[in-house]
Amino acid sequence: MPISRIPIYALLTGLSLCASALAQNPDKPEKKLDVKPSAPLPDVKVNWPVTTTQTTTQTFTTANGASGLFSRPVNMKLLVLTGDGNEPSFAALKFYLDYLNLPYDAVVLKGIALPALEDATGQRGNYQGIILATGSLGYSNNGAWVSALSTADWTRMDDYMRNYGVRVVSYYTYPEARYGMVPVSAMATSAAAPASMAFASASSTIFPYLVRTNPLRVTDAYLYLASAAPAVGETTTPILTIGTGIAGVTHTKADGREFMALTFDNNPYLIHSLALNYGIFNWVTKGIFVGERRIYLTPQNDDFFLPNDLFVASIAACRPSAFTVDPTYDPSAQCPTDRMDGGDLSALDDWQKSWRSRAQTKDFRVTYAFNGFGATTAGGSPNKDSLLTELRTRRDSFFWVNHTWDHENLDCKIQSRTAASAHRQPLPSRKAN
């Protein structure tokens, strides 16, 4: 019996703090996601093309040693296809491709034919890889769910894959024979009920940048669990699993066509989408693409100059029982404090210099959010403060962010109070005490 694909939406939830204060500030905009909630895939009946026999392809070796299997030249661009353009997975694909600056054509197929896949000579391909927002490219045609591609268009795509050695990714897939799987079960995940995704051994070459011994948390996405069911002459290799079910595979047809199929939804705001996107794009392009993967790393330490209250198990007042909305709240004068000194700042600067000596992290620099009140006697600055002395020497080694004069809570304080506090706050001065 096929798994039900009735639209059951996985809801996204958020936590609102300082609700009373925000309610009194109607000018504060709310962040809204321009992405639909995840839902089961519609039941789309597709007349898939019949697999043909293996054809011979010429191979070349890429700069990193990976086999290319392109028998003819191809343009270094991806083709991203969607049924109607409303899928969360389509939004995720555009978001992450733009992030990598990877060239692509995004085509909404509703009412149109598959675009040209090769030039007029038939000797150069227009795309080095194809990504489908959903496995069947379904859309609602006056209430009836149909595939945006005709059987002739699916055949044209299969021929292109075979003749040029181009790979295809199905980004959100119902498990079916086309992708070498059969459905087992389905589930909606949420922050309260996440799924734990594991990496199969075959994923090591696809996601080498991830710590694959740790599970990947999947939330706010509908997903299907599958079993591998390759036809004669085909190979289905699991790369991602949830429990005993399969959530992602690479699938090779008898004629050599290669697919990757993922059975869970994606959108730009989900952790699993963020973690996996680079490996997916790298696979479909066979490791060579025009673009750049960038990772931004600039740690931010809060409350420079201010001491921290320490947790003490033997003192009840020093054991917080719940989250404290007001960060300036002092639990008790009985709680000991700890404040960094000049030696700490010197050690941190030396540590980050060791990272800047490496080519890939030559611009690494810690950001400090500072509170000037802590540099005064009233704010806890000791006599002959070594932190101030060291700061005068190493000020330019760090980035600085205004964290208000005395750590006001900008969510919960009235505008005039916070504005006055912010205007009092200078940047750390070499001469200031």
Residue 165 and residue 71 in contact, taking contact as beta carbons nearer than 8 Å? yes
Q: What is the mean pLDDT of residues 358-362?
A: 87
- pLDDT for residue 328 is more than 80: no
Q: How many other C-beta atoms can be found within 10 angstroms of the C-beta atom of residue 168? A: 23
- 3-state SS record for 313-353: CCCHHHCCCCCCCCCCCCCCCCCCEECCCHHHHHHHHHHHH
Q: Among residues of the chain, what percentage have pLDDT more than 70?
A: 79
Please name the residues in contact with 402: beta carbons below 8 A apart, sequence gap of 6 or more.
369, 370, 422, 425, 427
Higher local confidence (pLDDT), 52 or 366:
366
pLDDT value of position 337: 86
pLDDT-derived band at 314 (thresholds 50, 70, 90) equals confident
pLDDT value of position 324: 64
pLDDT value of position 229: 98
Average pLDDT of every residue of the chain: 84
Residue 254 and residue 234 in contact, taking contact as beta carbons nearer than 8 Å? yes
Higher local confidence (pLDDT), 312 or 211:
211
pLDDT value of position 145: 95
pLDDT value of position 277: 97
Tokens encoding 329: 């709240």
- 3-state SS record for the chain: CCCCCCCCCCCCCCCCCCHHHHHCCCCCCCCCCCCCCCCCCCCCCCCCCCCCCCCCCCCCECCCCCECCCCCCECCCEEEEECCCCCHHHHHHHHHHHHHCCCEEEEECCCCCCCCCECCCCCCECCCEEEECCCCCEEEECCEEEECCCHHHHHHHHHHHHHHCCEEEECCCCCCHHHCEEEEEEEECCCCCCEEEEECHHHHHCCCCCCCCCCEEECCCEEEEEEECCCCCCEEEEEEEECCEEEEEEEECCCCCEEEEECECCCCCCHHHHHHHHHHHHHHCCCCCCCCCCCCCCCEEEEECCCEECCCCCCHHHCCCCCCCCCCCCCCCCCCEECCCHHHHHHHHHHHHHHHCCHHHCCCCCEEEECHHHHCCCCCCCCCCHHHHHHHHHHHHCEEEECCCCCCCCCCCCHHHHHHHHHHCCCCCCCCC
pLDDT value of position 345: 96
pLDDT value of position 75: 95
The CATH code of domain 19-284 reads 3.40.50.880
pLDDT value of position 290: 94
pLDDT value of position 336: 87
pLDDT-derived band at 430 (thresholds 50, 70, 90) equals very low
Amino acid letter, residue 254: A
| β-strands 235-242, 245-252 pairing | antiparallel
Q: What is the mean pLDDT of residues 225-239?
A: 98
- pLDDT for residue 294 is more than 90: no
pLDDT value of position 6: 33
pLDDT value of position 3: 47
Q: pLDDT tens, 126-137?
A: 999 999 999 999
Is pTM beyond 0.75? Reply is no
Q: Among residues of the chain, what percentage have pLDDT more than 90?
A: 64
Higher local confidence (pLDDT), 65 or 324:
324
- pLDDT for residue 30 is more than 80: no
pLDDT-derived band at 191 (thresholds 50, 70, 90) equals very high
**Which stretch of 28-37, 52-61, 154-163 has the lowest confidence by average pLDDT?**
52-61
Q: What is the mean pLDDT of residues 171-194?
A: 97
pLDDT value of position 425: 53
pLDDT-derived band at 379 (thresholds 50, 70, 90) equals confident
pLDDT-derived band at 411 (thresholds 50, 70, 90) equals low
Angle at 75 between CA 69 and CA 78, to 5 degrees: 90
**Which stretch of 61-70, 201-210, 352-361 has the lowest confidence by average pLDDT?**
61-70
What is the domain partition of the chain in residue ranges?
A: 19-284, 300-424
Tokens encoding 63: 């700069």
